[in-house]
Structure 1
Amino acid sequence: MKALLFFSLLLGGGGLPGTAGPAPAPRAETVAVTVVVTNLRSTESVVKLNFYNAPDKFLKAGQSALRLAVKPNGKTEISVPVELARGEWAVALSQDTNDNGRMDRNFLGIPTEPYAFSNNVRPHLSAPNFEQCKFLVEGGGKVVSITLVP
């Protein structure tokens, strides 16, 4: 049941209403970060990225600080530039390979579509936590590499 809850919350569970979700609150300073996503199963299906900067909001539906959707446009790897405030961040992402607007799961609630977390955390029986997935944004030029779980 814990796995079902985890995968229900993965990336907010539902469809993505637009190409970008709620923007983070205005910050005094942001820096350039590039998220590189590899091992895309589809070269055309949307990759959804959710950025979190608070442990208590991590993987909770509608609680991401920033939400993006990116089409790979024929590529098996994408680079996503984003401006983030200095501090600790974590990313959860998925690829909607059948373009139905949601994360498909099997009867146990385990995703049947590719997903991943920053630091390439691979959950086994329960959701990872913010501490496992966090990375530090201190200055420009930060690159976060993430490989999708097929």
Structure 2
Amino acid sequence: MIKVLRVSLLLTVMGLAWPFSAKASSNSNLSVEIDGFRNQKGQVCISLFASSQGFPNNRDRVIQRQCNKISESSVKVSFGNLKAGNYAVAVFHDENNDLKLNRNDLGMPTEGFGFSRNPEVTTSAPKFNDAAFLIAGPNTNIQIKLKYF
């Protein structure tokens, strides 16, 4: 143990010490592939969250958001310039282009929806931690399968 400390001290003094923690990229990219569309009407809207505050539907807490036309059975969306950390994605199939997830009288979604990590959804939306994933390198890829009730 003492020998290791001496070598470490010597290397530090000589300017040869390696950093003990790797610097995480602050320029990471996220690629999200969404599939399971029941039709190609409208658009798909994807919201990226960096914390539990506001997840999954508070637009004021979204760090990046995109809505893209659906032209194939799956859609790929990219987000760039992300810092390392935990994120979660919420997606919905905006079939009527009104920029909101429509619901019936009981509050159940009438349009498709999905979340990162594809958590089981029964009576309410998942918590941030159930959908969270780590971005730590230059490129992260996730897949989301839409659900319809």
TM-score between both structures, scaled by the size of structure 2:
0.75
Measured in 2, the distance between the counterparts of 1:60 and 1:39 equals 21
Question: Aligned pair 1:117/2:96, yes or no?
Answer: no
Deviation at 1:88, TM superposition (A): 0.3
CA distance in structure 2 between the aligned counterparts of 1:77 and 1:60, rounded to whole angstroms: 22
SS of the residue 2:106 aligns to: coil
Query: How much has 1:33 moved relative to structure 2?
Result: 1.4
Tell me the secondary structure at the aligned position of residue 88 of structure 1.
strand
Partner of 1:37: 34
Question: Deviations along 1:33-73, whole A, 9 cap, x unmatched?
Answer: 1100011223242101111001223225221111111112x
Greater CA radius of gyration, 1 or 2?
2
CA contact (8 A) 1:47 1:94 kept: yes
Q: CA deviation at 1:122?
A: 2.6
Q: Which amino acid aligns with 2:90?
A: A
RMSD (Å), alpha carbons:
1.6
Q: Within 5 Å, which residues of 2 pair with 1:1-150?
A: 29-61=26-58, 62-72=60-70, 74-83=71-80, 84-150=82-148
What is the SS of the residue equivalent to 2:138?
Answer: coil
Contact 1:116 1:122 in 2 (8 A): no
8 Å CA contact 2:45–2:99 kept in 1: the answer is no
Distance 1:122 1:102, change over 3 A: same
Alpha carbons 1:47, 1:93 under 8 Å: kept:
yes
Secondary structure in 2 matching 1:131: helix
The answer to whether the 8 A contact 2:41-2:96 is kept is no
Q: Check the 8 A contact 2:87/2:133 in 1, yes or no.
A: yes
- With normalisation by structure 1, the TM-score equals 0.75
Q: Give distance in 2, aligned partners of 1:45 and 1:91.
A: 20
List runs of 5+ in structure 1 lacking aligned partners. 1-27
Between 1:39-48 and 1:129-138, the stretch displaced more is 39-48
